[in-house]
Every structure is written in C-alpha cells, then in structure tokens.
Structure 1
Amino acid sequence: MELLYRTEGLLGELIGFPTVSADGNLDLIGWASNYLKGLGAVCDVSLDESGTKANLFASFGPEGDGGLVLSGHSDVVPVADQEWSSDPFVMEDREGRLYGRGACDMKGFIACVLAIAPQIAQWPLKRPVHIVLTYDEEVGCFGARALVEELRARELRPATAILGEPTMMRVIDGHKGCFEYTTRITGCAGHGSTPDHGVNAAVCATRYAGRLMELEQDLRRRAPVDSPFTPPWTTLNIGRIQSGHAHNVIPDHAEIDWEMRPVQQSDADHVLTEIDRYAATLLPGMRAVHPEATITREVIGEVAGLHPVPHNAIAEIVSELTGANGADVVAFGTEAGLFQSLGMDCVVCGPGSIEQAHKPDEYVSRDQLAACLEMLKGLERHLT
C-alpha cells in the first residue's frame, strides 16, 4: 500500500503542473529531473526551439544499447470550455477515482513509473532502464520525434519500450498512423456578379475536398486482407473547411483541415501523390485569371503507426506480467511507432481508459494504478 500512496502523491504533484501543450512543460520536467537525479539517474533535458518545452531522458543502470524505455508524454489537452466539477489542476479523490486533467492521459502512468524509480535504482540491472517524458504528443508527437532523432544521432538503441497510454492495462501492439494536413488556397477576390473576374477559393476548396473523398473510396478497396484494424482500411477525414465573408463576395482564401490514418505507408504515399497531382491540375486555370494564385499543403503532423510484429519481446513480457492472453490493436495513435522506427520492440499498456481522456472530470482509478505498479515491479526479474 505504501507504493500506491506514493504514486497518488506523485500524481497529485503531476496534475498540479498545468502542462497544456500550448503553454509548455518546463516546470514539470525540471521537477521530475531533480527527483530522478536524487535517485542516481543520469538525466538529459533537451529543449525545443522555442525554449518553452523539453524532453527528459533519464537513465539507470549500465550505459549502452539494449535497454528498456518507460515512456509517457507530459503534455495535456486544454480545459477551456469544459465543465469540470472541480479544479482540473488539483487532484481530487472520489470513491477510488483520482480526478484531474491528465490523470489517465497520461500522468497516471508517469506517476507509477516515478513511484517505482527508487526500486529501479536499487535493481542490479544488466541493461539500462530509461525513463522518458516527452512534450507535444497531443499536437503532433513533436517531442518524441525530436527525441528519436537525438537517439539516432547518438547511435543509442534501446531494445524495447513500454508506452503507458491508457489501455485499462490491456496489451496493445498495433495502431494506425495519424497524418494531419492543412491545405490553403489563395485566389482572387471580386464581386459575386462577375465570377469570371475572380478566382473563387471556396470553389477550388470544394473540388479539392471532392477529390479527397474519391481517394477515400480508393482506400477502402486497398484494405489489406489481413488487416487487424477496425475499419480495416486507411481512413480519411475532412475536419474543417473555412472560406468566404458574404453571399455576394468571391472569396480569395480557403483552408481545409484533413487527416488520414494509414494502415500501411503505401496508402499514405498514394493519397499524397494523387492529391498533390490534382492540385497541380487546378492551378493553371486559377493562374490564368490571377497569376499569384496558390494551393499549398502544410504538414501538421505525421505520426507513424505501430505495426504488429510476429515476435515482440516486450509484448510477450508485459502479457505475462498482466496475465493478458496475447496483444490487441487500438484506433487511437501514440508515440510508439516513432520508437519502433529505431528498431525497438514496443508495446502500449497503461492505467485508465481512453474513454476518459480529453473529457471534463478525467480520472484514473486507484485499482488501475495498483495494476500498473504490479506490472512495473514484475519487470525486475526480466532486467536483472
């Protein structure tokens, strides 16, 4: 029970840091780094370009390759316009549920890892254990992408990773990728009574969106026969189209926010090639009226999927420790695919339910934290 009490105290500390992605995470990273340094960890804090956000890479045990990563993202989604029944950045205990922004997504897992860290520091480790806290997972996994590139540059290759996203302690070894884009169209304004004298960005956006929906049908036909996902094909969604000011004004600007969640990289390549080709066919007609007309596609985030593999060492270990009968896949994305790109075996397993994530009165149950702690304690015999 002492370990669980320590976990709850640490979770309260973590929730108290309002690490909304837009606002930065330096206070939390500084606090966690000092805590782990006090236990003997070697801590590397790396800032982003703005200097307001950072990753923490803390290591116990011998140096070198072949270690285990315990990873969680430190940022949370906003609470603005949500109706909370209590202060979202003050943890509240109600009948075995611990409430607060980030309680399950994913400060509950981080609290468990920090609580077990004093024990990890005493284990006679044969290979390193790395505790990783990243920034900006919620807005594009930018922190994990930067960290993976740093590890690649350092030629440091941990062997395995556990990412503690909320899965109700289910063992997850696969999820789709998440690629997000904003397409901006610049036309030429004019009066609605003379449409040939302008370039209607809204009309161009409608045609562009129509082509995306045609490609969405292509993706259904391209679904792999053995796809483990639901639905089995790469999905494509248009989330926002914005253009125009009034009924009688030709709009000179339009934006389309869209995403796809690929089950295979070839699907993403197909969509991007075809939509960029289609945009190129629209431009000559636009520029015949207005030479400065443009269609640009901005990459908001391209988060790799986690692909199930036949022999996943860490999935097998975590399945044994949790009593799971094999691994499963989920619809939501994580940073795991980025770590997998380094050649690591990865698994997603953590306390709490994704159904609580991002909602008002987010919580994690005490029972889920206890189950996570049992799993983490069981890693000792595999690492020593």
Structure 2
Amino acid sequence: MTDTTANGQRFTPLEMLARLVAFDTVSHKSNLDLIAFVESYLAGWGVASTRIPNAEGDKAALFATLGPQDRGGILLSGHTDVVPVEGQAWSRDPFTLHVAEGKAFGRGAVDMKGFIALALALVPDMLAAGLKTPIHLFFSYDEEVTCLGVVDGIARMGVDLPRPRAVIVGEPTSLDLADAHKGIRTFFTSITGVAAHSSKPHLGASAVHGGVRLAAELVQMADELEERVDASGRFDPPYDTLHIGKFHGGIARNILADRADLSWEVRTLPGSDPEIVPARFAAICDEVQARMRRTAPSATITTVMSSDVPGLAPDPGSEAETLVMRLAGRNSTIAVAYATEAGHFQRAGLP
C-alpha cells in the first residue's frame, strides 16, 4: 500500500549509491542492515514493503509496489549481495563510494547496487507521476553464489504478492538489452578412500587417484562440448562449457589420500539439456568407485549439486523486451555467457 500524503527523504542517485555501498553485503554476510535501510526509506514515502527471509533468518529479499495494488506491473529486480574484496589491491576503502573522473568506485557500485540506487532515488518521482501501471521493486540476496535468493519471492508472486506483467533485471550491460544467457549448475564431488603407506597401495585406496580419474573424464567432456558449436553466433564462447575450479586432497607425498574434493560447474546454452553431463558423470563415478573398492570396500564417491540457475531464452516481442528497447533506445538484443536471476523468473512463467 502507498500513502500518498507521505513526504520522505530525497537522495540523488549518487547519494543513494553511497548509502548502499557502505553496507558490507558480501554474499557470506547478512544483508539485513541494508534491507532495514531500504524499508525505512520506502516507509518514509508511504510505501509498504514485504520481507522475504531466508531459512536461517540472517538474510532477506524485499518486495514493494508503487502505484495501484490491484494489478500486475513492471518489476525492477536487483541483488543486494556483492563479491568479496579480500586479496584485491583496492587503493581505497571498497565500502566507501569514491567518485573521480566521472566514475563511481566501490564494491557493488556497478554490479548491482547502482541499479538499485537509481530505482530507489526515483521513488519520489514515480509516486508523483500518478502511475496507472504499478512498478514493483524486488531486491534479493545470494545472487553472486547461488541465485537462490529470488526463488522464495518468485513463488509468492501471484499468491500473496502481486504477479508482475514484465520483469527487468538490472544487470550492468551498458544499456544493451540481454534477452538470453547461459544456465549454470555447480557441483561438489567428495571422494573418500582409505589411507595407507604408498609402499603398500594394495592396503588402501587413494582418493586423489580417484579424483584424478574423475577430473580427467570431466576435462574430456569439456573438450567434447567445445565441438558442439551453437549456430546462432550470439554467445561467446558459442558452446556449453565445463570447468573444474578446485581440486583438493592428500596430506603427504607418501600416504594414499583418504579424502579428495572436486568443485566444478557446467554452463549450458538455452535449449541444451542440463541433465546430460551430470548423468554421464554419475555413471563414471560408479565405475571409479567400483575400482577403488577392489582394495578398499568402504570407498565412496558422492556428488551434490550446490546451485541450479536456468538459462534465459529469447522471448521476442514480449512486453519487457518492447519496453526496454523503447527506454534504452535500442532495436537489437545481445546474449551473455554468464547467468543471472532472470532465468528463475522465466522458469516461473514471468516475461
């Protein structure tokens, strides 16, 4: 609900961005202080908001509607979390906005507190415009790690929250309209072997050797994926990708490792079957586990999917596409290789 008699505090976009950047919302930390600030700001303008907390209660998404409450409108979506700053050569405090030579510097200034700041700074103008079509604001968490911070909120749209007619996810694209992106699934594979001295390998099973066999198969699959090129020419690179980001295991050169871990991912083009690689890998895991159990019957291999972000397929002529083309002065679209929360909206039937 909107109280049209309210008169809250005004911020320029840069002033609002400075306030948002000052909140350290690296993904593994809470975003509740930022959410409380946004709630208070919106309340000052008579705009009610709804928190959508995570299961642990240390993070939350926020949903608000400007204008009519009885119909679907345009949803502006952005994530409040940012990537880490540790180990990076920042010359200034990354959580203090610095403006120089026409640019704003700070963690999350572009991805994507800049979009949120613009949306919030324009709230007074939106309210003054006498909106006939509502504008919904939806700010999420955990986009940088799993993209799951939107899921609970999306599930409530059309239930106890308004269901939008069109969704705009404000990722930084230099005002190009991205109507397609790859999906991503991330996996964590644990190999448990049995330790033994390396002079007597028949008394144990090396988890590292098992992991190397699995890693080699994943690399082989990655090479095969490169050969299946997307004919549209829109994606760079124009094929599904598979990547092993981490491989840990072992405590000493002369001891068979009793534990090894692989962290890996698959990025798929819209239209690709995301089940193919995991299914093939599961069969390979069974083979490697059986081999390890010849000398170590207790050896195990387990794989957990830690995130599943669907790809975004083009939706030509949709209300969202038409609106953004008009506002941005564009008559064409682009595709991007990274994943965003837009895939979750599309999976839920939201254009």
Q: TM-score, normalised by structure 1?
A: 0.84
Cα distance in 1 for partners of 2:293, 2:347 equals: 41
SS in 2 for 1:218: helix
Which moved further from structure 2: 212-221 or 151-160? Answer: 151-160
Which moved further from structure 2: 113-122 or 59-68? Answer: 59-68
The letter for the 2-side match of 1:116 is L
- 2:41 equivalent to 1:35: yes
The letter for the 2-side match of 1:249 is I
Per-residue deviation, residues 111-167 of structure 1 (Å, max 9, x unmatched): 100011112223333332110111111111121122223336548531211111111
Which moved further from structure 2: 112-121 or 139-148? Answer: 139-148
In angstroms, what is the RMSD of aligned CA positions? Answer: 1.9
What does residue range 228-377 of structure 1 map to in structure 2 within 5 Å?
228-264=234-270, 266-345=272-351
Equivalent residue for 2:136? 130
Per-residue deviation, residues 249-287 of structure 1 (Å, max 9, x unmatched): 100111111111100454321101100111112222323
CA contact (8 A) 1:152 1:342 kept: no
Deviation at 1:229, TM superposition (A): 1.1
Cα distance in 1 for partners of 2:47, 2:323 equals: 24
Deviation at 1:85, TM superposition (A): 1.3
Deviation at 1:227, TM superposition (A): 5.6
Equivalent residue for 1:17? 23
Equivalent residue for 2:145? 139
The letter for the 2-side match of 1:77 is V
What does residue range 178-197 of structure 1 map to in structure 2 within 5 Å?
178-197=184-203
Equivalent residue for 1:61? 67
Higher normalized helix content (fraction of residues) = 1
Cα distance in 1 for partners of 2:248, 2:279 equals: 24
Deviation at 1:214, TM superposition (A): 2.2
CA contact (8 A) 1:157 1:342 kept: no
Match of 1:77 among 74, 83, 90: 83
Per-residue deviation, residues 179-203 of structure 1 (Å, max 9, x unmatched): 1111110011100001111111111
Deviation at 1:64, TM superposition (A): 4.5
SS in 2 for 1:12: helix
- 2:222 equivalent to 1:216: yes
Which moved further from structure 2: 135-144 or 210-219? Answer: 210-219
Q: TM-score, normalised by structure 2?
A: 0.92
CA contact (8 A) 1:238 1:258 kept: yes
Match of 1:91 among 69, 93, 97: 97
Equivalent residue for 1:6? 12
Q: Gapped runs of 5+ residues in structure 1? A: 346-384
SS in 2 for 1:143: helix
Cα distance in 2 for partners of 1:97, 1:307 equals: 33
- 2:101 equivalent to 1:103: no
Cα distance in 1 for partners of 2:80, 2:239 equals: 31
- 2:157 equivalent to 1:151: yes
CA contact (8 A) 1:180 1:300 kept: yes
Deviation at 1:65, TM superposition (A): 5.0
Cα distance in 2 for partners of 1:287, 1:152 equals: 51
Which moved further from structure 2: 298-307 or 285-294? Answer: 285-294
Equivalent residue for 1:373? none
Cα distance in 1 for partners of 2:326, 2:158 equals: 30
Query: Identity of aligned pairs, percent?
Result: 40
